[in-house]
Structure 1
Amino acid sequence: MSKPILAFDIYGTLINVHGVVEQLQNMVGDQATLFSQTWRDKQLEYTFRRGLMQNYANFAICTRDALEYACQLLKQDLSTQQKQQLLDTYRTLPAFDDVEPTLQALKDSGIAMFGFSNGSADAVETLLQHAGIHDYFDGIVSVDDMKSFKPNPGVYSHFLRQAKAQLESQGDGQATHVGGQNAWLISSNSFDVIGAISAGMRAAWVKRSPDAVFDPWGIEPTAQIHNLTELKKALEQTL
């Protein structure tokens, strides 16, 4: 079988969204970890709500509004300058340690890889450039083009179109092969994995935390890994 096409989620999968904690410690002290998690959780919630309401605002606005929420909830009176510093940091967050060696190994194997994100294309480009991993990708696909967010099935179809792939029906409502290749989403977010599988893709769930729980919806990831360095072997076992 031909080699797969891989769609890598960015925030939380390749890029450590909690890379802002050290900066937060200087601003909110012992609440830094809680603040970071609250900010991230609300950020995702706002994308879900805006998607359902069809009241789109881009990921940067969802991130900004979630920051305001975290400040109010945790009663942290950050200055306008501090808030801007945090938002600027969000554009330069670090990649996880397992990312670059994994991307290098996949690139060496000739596997096509795309960044696929709720973030706008320019924000993702900046993030990947700063993390030193931009050049591993064949392209960046943003949901911003669709004015919606994951897990809207339309955004996964958008990825397949942008990757110049066509779903082939299997006759049972499922579609896993794309232009003779397997289309995979790689994500640490279970809602994203379930969304991709529901839209006809395969998906690997990166369980980055031992405490992470995959949503019990009766839809299982095609593969589960604990570290991205396990990805290449997991792909080989399912092809």
Structure 2
Amino acid sequence: MTVTFAFDVYGTLINPHGITELIRKHVGDKAPQLSQLWREKQLEYSFRRGLMRLYRDFSVATENALDYASAVFETPLSEDAKAELLTAYRKLPAFDDTAPALNALHAQDSKMFAFSNGRLSDVNSLLENADVAKYLDGVISVDEIETFKPNPDVYAHFNKKTGSNPDTTWLVSSNPFDVIGARAVGWKAAWVQRTTTSKFDPWEIQPTKVISTLAELSGGVE
């Protein structure tokens, strides 16, 4: 049985807080908190747009969330500073375990795709910059159907584009909402619990597998 892996990007392969030191240059010691709120609002805005069916691509949610976080922490950003941060966001670093894990799975001839809320161009840029695109069979972006995870249509779109079956598709994600969305449509899912303080949502749906690093995938997921 051939397994198809759908790797979430932001928070799973790529570290969304990887430019905290650059943020610090503009806002000082509030940088970690601002980075956290930026990410939280980015996701919230994508959820809102998905529910309202008022689609704008993920880069809009990213920019709007940065504006919000800056306002909350009373750290106004000049246009140049804002542009610098948004440009850097398209070059976020991969987590340390990303390349070794993808390389190991690639050597096992696994089918692997990046699967993201991000624009195709942004995700391609991220993966190329992190030097991990070479391990993947392609990138599937929600931008093609103009809605966001965890809408069931997004997961169906992945299966259609990759020619995979729901019952042999494994999502790998650090985002509980994504794991729940995938499990709800019949996928299996590995939740990447990157820190012990990360908690899974109290839901009637649970991950198929819980891992702390991507390296644990090389032992198999059957």
Q: Same fold (TM over 0.5)?
A: yes
Aligned twin of 2:171: 185
Q: Residue deviations 1:98-133, cap 9 Å, x none?
A: 011100100000000000000011110000000000
Deviation at 1:234, TM superposition (A): 4.8
Look up the equivalent residue of 1:39 and give its one-letter code: W
TM-score (norm 1): 0.91
Instruction: Tell me the percent identity.
Output: 49
What secondary structure sits across from 2:18 in the alignment?
A: helix
- Write the distance in 2 (CA, Å) between the matches of 1:218 and 1:82: 43
Q: Find out whether 1:42 has 2:28 as its counterpart.
A: no
Mapped to 1, the partners of 2:106 and 2:21 lie a distance apart of 32
Contact in 2 for aligned 1:223/1:234 (Cα 8 Å): no
RMSD over equivalenced CA pairs, Å: 0.8
Deviations 1:192-230 (A, max 9, x none): 000000011110000011100100102110000001101
- Determine whether 1:61 maps to 2:60: yes
CA shift digits 1:6-43 (9 cap, x unpaired): 00000000000000101011111110000000000000
Corresponding residue SS for 1:81: helix
Structure 1 residue 232: deviation in Å? Answer: 2.1
Q: Distance in 1 between matches of 2:72 and 2:211?
A: 34
TM-score by length of 2: 0.98
1:214 maps to 200
| 1:80 has 2:66 as partner | no
For residues 157 and 90 of structure 1, what CA distance do their matches in structure 2 show? Answer: 28
Code of the aligned partner of 1:158 = H
Please show how residues 97-176 of structure 1 align to structure 2 within 5 Å. 97-167=96-166, 176=167
Q: Shift of residue 149 of structure 1? A: 0.2
Give 5+ residue unaligned stretches, structure 1.
168-175, 177-181
Deviation track 1:143-174 (CA, whole Å, cap 9, x = no partner) reads: 0011000000000000000111244xxxxxxx
The structure 1 segments of at least 4 consecutive aligned residues displaced by more than 2 Å after TM superposition are none
1:218-229, aligned counterparts within 5 Å? 218-229=204-215
Per the alignment, residue 89 of structure 1 pairs with 88
Corresponding residue number in structure 2 for 1:173? none
